Every structure is written in structure tokens, then in C-alpha cells.
Amino acid sequence: MSPAPPAREPLGARDPGPAPGPGRRRLLRYGTAGAAALLAGVPLTGCASPARAGGPSALKVWDLFQGGDGMLMDEMIDAVSRGADGFRVDRTILDWGPSYYTKLAMSAAGGRASDVAVLHLSRLAGYAPGGLLDPFDLDLLAEFGVTEKDFAPAVWKRARYRDTVYAVPLDVHPFIVFYDKDAAERAHLLDPSGHLAPMGSPEALLDAGKRLAEATGHSGILFGHVTDTAQSWRQFAALYAQTGASFTLPDGGPPQIDVDAAVRVVAFMKRLFDGRTNPRDLDYNSAMAAFTGGRGGMIMAGEWELPTFRDSAVKRLGAAPFPQVFGRPAVYADSHSFVLPHQENPDPARRREAHRYVAEIVKQSLTWAGAGHIPAYQPVLARPEYAALDPQSSYAAAGENAVLDPSNWFAGAASNFQNRMCQPLQSALLGNTSAEKAVRQMVREADTLLRRPNPVA
């Protein structure tokens, strides 16, 4: 998934290749003008009256999976489309980012919604309150073999809005660490099983960076954040959650943020990336190039970069959940989830098929794990085929300790919230401001966003 603004998210980097046939796969691209109108609260116009689905037509599915992820989704759809009970699927692929979420909102508000769509779970709070999504029927899902107990509580909790389930998670895609096993072995950082040993403290991670720098003769830990609108926030959010403090943004404000814990985290980030053993001024592409070129022992990145790192100078690639250095395990993550865009008069048979489709696709998520994503459907994680995936199975526990963005309409993937949090964090990492000043600015930015009404509520 891509490093360019507004954020780097899990979209495959490879070309998706030719479409598999008319009506099966369509690629639409939309500009961002609609996003500006939506966020400004401009009424949504130009949509037809609510359409009634029915008949033998194909199930309409919207997603944002291109490149390698797109090909894997094609494979999963093909798998559930075989046989007498197979689905007919009309898949539409849109560019990921603000334009995708604007189009999703407009289609639901104007009656042109697909039967099923993909939504980052971190964006649910911006869509469920305004009636843009319809809830799932849990009895129907259970009939098709999918229940709450099949998902990690940390993820399923975020699939709810006011105790109603509006999303079914497909995956967990966490911010983790990849490392060169040869370098880590020389640095004595592996446990007896050959995996990265637990850190346990800030000092241990600082020491690991020094050891890896010595082992590689280059950099210890790489982190590309300069000009990126999400990376610094991902790292901060993981470390802050590890302190046990809450980052709560109640409607109307003020923000409920433990300033002392936040300062402690930012101060540690500044120490970790001090410009010596661990560079502090890398952009995303520079950090990626350094690691793939063998000029660093470890990199903090999203699991979606697994296909890139496999095709690199790192001969023995390892991966692990984001290191726990404070009081409790926590890993920043998001989740691609399936939702039911709102329809005024959904056809019961067609809505039933939508539930069956979602249930069958999540059962195919062993295929999805090939790109690095952690299947959210736990029975897939329990399969021996998943345990055999290397290095995916090494960081599967990250799904149990997933921490998403605050549950607010303005937060989540490709949001301005992440960008506004990153700006003071980037300044602190570059040595341009203190940890205290950075945190004060983060609190001010959060307070400003809290005072804005949800334009689609």
C-alpha cells in the first residue's frame, strides 16, 4: 500500500495487471474536490434517488485494493465465485485516500451505494453516526459461520458504534519492525528460537540501535518520517499506549491526554533517533532504500512493506511486533473492514447475499496474509498453513494488542488528524523543538478539531 501524501497505507506497489473481464473489475479515479466540499459541510448533490437492488445482477463491491493487494483480492473473489453457490461480483476499485471516503459517503447519502464496501476501521466513527452505514445482522453472520468470538477483542470492539456492529474486519495491519536476521544475530539480539528477543525498556531499544549500527557498519534503526503525514503519529501512538495512558478526544473537548506520559514518549523518540546510530532526518523513501540496500539493521514500518523487503539485499528477513519498551504491550494498527453502505430499501435476499459474501471472503484471508496482513478472522490464524508463513507468523500477536486512532469522525486513515499530530512530532524529531512544546501543540491541534462538528452526522 503508498508513501505519497496524504499518508502511507497498505496498498500493493505492483501493477494490478489487466482486468479479469468486463463487469468483474472496474477502476475509477476521483479527484479531491469532493473531499473539501464534504469536510466543509457542503450539501451533497447530484445523486439519484435511492435504488432498490434485486434480481440476478452481480453483487456490487467497492474497495481500494490496487497492485499486489488487488491481485490477492481478485484471487479471493475467484475462490468464492466457484461452484453452484458462487458469487457474481461486480468489483469497483477506487484510489485510496480522502477521495475514496468522500465517494463512499456521497454514494450512501445519495442512494448509489454498493452492496459491500471496504472501510478502514479507524474511520468508522465518521460514518456510522450519520447513517451512512447499515448495521450487520449478527444472526445472519453466525448462520454463515462468522461470530464475535472469531475476532480479537481489540479489533472487534472498534467494529461497534454504540453497541451496534457496523463492520466486519478482514485484517489487522500493524506498524511493526523488520530486521536483518544476520545483523541481529551478530548484535546478539535474537532469542534461542532465532527471533528478536523482547526489549523491555527504553534503554534496551537504544542499546539495540547501537549494536545494530556496529553489526551493519551503517545505521542501526531506520525510520522514515520527514514530510510523511502518518509515520510519526504511528510510532508515537504505539509508545504512548504502552505507557498505559489514554488518548481520549470527547466531542466538544477538551482533549483528555496525559501530558506527562506524552512528553516522556516524545523525549524517548528524540533520544532514539538522535542522528548518530539511528538517523533522524530520513523521508519514507530514503529509509526504505537504506533498508532494502542493506544499510540498516532494522526499520520501523508497516507490515504492508513485506513484499518490498522480500525483494531486497536482506537475505534473512525477520519481523516482530513493535517493541514493548514501556509498561504494557501495544502496537499501532488499523484494519481493512467490510461495511454495508446505507440503502433506503435494501432487498432482503440481496442483503443476505452481502452477509454471506463477507463471511466467505474473511474465511479466505490466508491468501490475504501472503502480502503481510494479519487475518482478523482467528480460525485462519490457527491453521498450520499460517504458522508456516515466515515472517508473518512472527508478528501475529500484534493483532491482539492493536491500538487504533481515537474513535472520532476526524481521525483515522488518510485523515487530517494524523497530519496535524505529525507536524509537531516531526519538528521534535528533527531537533527543532522540545518534547514539551511538541506535546502542547498536539493538544492544541486536537482541541481545535474537537470543536468542529461532524459534517455528515
In a domain, 187, yes or no: yes
Is 440 in the same domain as 356?
Answer: no
Is 241 in the same domain as 114?
Answer: no
HSE, CB side, 13 Å, CA atoms: give it for residue 304.
Answer: 27
Query: What is the rounded CA–CA span in Å between residue 330 and residue 232?
Result: 16
Return the higher-pLDDT residue of 44 and 310. 310
User: Does the pLDDT at position 1 exceed 90?
Assistant: no
In a domain, 11, yes or no: no
In a domain, 14, yes or no: no
Backbone φ/ψ region at 131: left (φ over 0), alpha (ψ -120 to 50), beta: left
Is 155 in the same domain as 262?
Answer: no
In a domain, 251, yes or no: yes
Average pLDDT rounded to a whole number, residues 7-28? 35
Owning domain of residue 167 = 25-173+334-401
Query: What is the rounded CA–CA span in Å between residue 448 and residue 82?
Result: 51
What pLDDT shows up at residue 37? Answer: 34
Is 347 in the same domain as 412?
Answer: no
Domain boundary among 360, 384, 401: 401
Q: For helices 259-272 and 416-429, give the axis angle rounded to 10 degrees.
A: 60
Is 270 in the same domain as 199?
Answer: yes
Average pLDDT rounded to a whole number, residues 55-78? 92
Cell triple for 181: 536476521
> Please, are residues 410 and 225 in contact by the beta-carbon 8 Å criterion?
no
Q: Where are the alpha helices (DSSP H) in 115-248?
A: 138-143, 153-156, 181-186, 202-216, 231-242
Domain boundary among 362, 384, 401: 401
| Torsion angle of the four alpha carbons 283, 289, 291, 296, in this order, in degrees rounded to the nearest 10 | -70
> Please, are residues 256 and 450 in contact by the beta-carbon 8 Å criterion?
no
Other Cβ atoms within 10 Å of 43 Cβ, number:
8
User: Does the pLDDT at position 10 exceed 70?
Assistant: no
Query: What is the rounded CA–CA span in Å between residue 96 and residue 413?
Result: 10
Is 416 in the same domain as 342?
Answer: no
User: Does the pLDDT at position 418 exceed 60?
Assistant: yes
Is 396 in the same domain as 424?
Answer: no
What pLDDT shows up at residue 77? Answer: 98
> Please, are residues 409 and 126 in contact by the beta-carbon 8 Å criterion?
yes
pLDDT digits (tens, 9 = 90+) for 296-311: 999 999 999 999 999 9
pLDDT digits (tens, 9 = 90+) for 329-386: 999 999 999 999 999 899 999 999 999 999 999 999 999 999 999 999 999 999 999 9
Burial annotation 192-223 (CB, 10 A radius, 16+ → b, else e): eeebbbebeebeebbbbbebbbebbebbbbbb
Is 268 in the same domain as 360?
Answer: no
In a domain, 159, yes or no: yes
Is 155 in the same domain as 115?
Answer: yes
In a domain, 455, yes or no: no
Residue 125 CB partners (closer than 8 Å, separation 6+): 161, 407, 408, 409, 411, 412
Confidence band for 33, pLDDT divided at 50, 70 and 90 = very low
Query: What is the rounded CA–CA span in Å between residue 72 and residue 77?
Result: 9
Query: What is the rounded CA–CA span in Å between residue 370 and residue 364?
Result: 11
In the numeric block, the cell 464534504 is attached to 38
In a domain, 319, yes or no: yes
Q: Is the pTM of this model over 0.75?
A: yes
pLDDT digits (tens, 9 = 90+) for 236-281: 999 999 999 999 999 899 999 999 999 999 999 999 999 999 999 9
What pLDDT shows up at residue 396? Answer: 97
Q: Where are the alpha helices (DSSP H) in 187-339?
A: 202-216, 231-242, 259-272, 284-292, 306-310
What pLDDT shows up at residue 287? Answer: 98
Is 144 in the same domain as 184?
Answer: no
Q: Where are the alpha helices (DSSP H) in 293-336?
A: 306-310
pLDDT digits (tens, 9 = 90+) for 159-203: 999 999 999 999 999 999 999 999 999 999 999 999 999 999 999
Number of domains into which the chain is organized: 2
Chain Cα centroid distance, residue 161: 19
Residue 192 CB partners (closer than 8 Å, separation 6+): none
Is 283 in the same domain as 375?
Answer: no
Query: What is the rounded CA–CA span in Å between residue 364 and residue 311?
Result: 25
What pLDDT shows up at residue 97? Answer: 87
In a domain, 9, yes or no: no
Is 29 in the same domain as 57?
Answer: yes
User: What CATH number does the domain containing 89 carry?
Assistant: 3.40.190.10
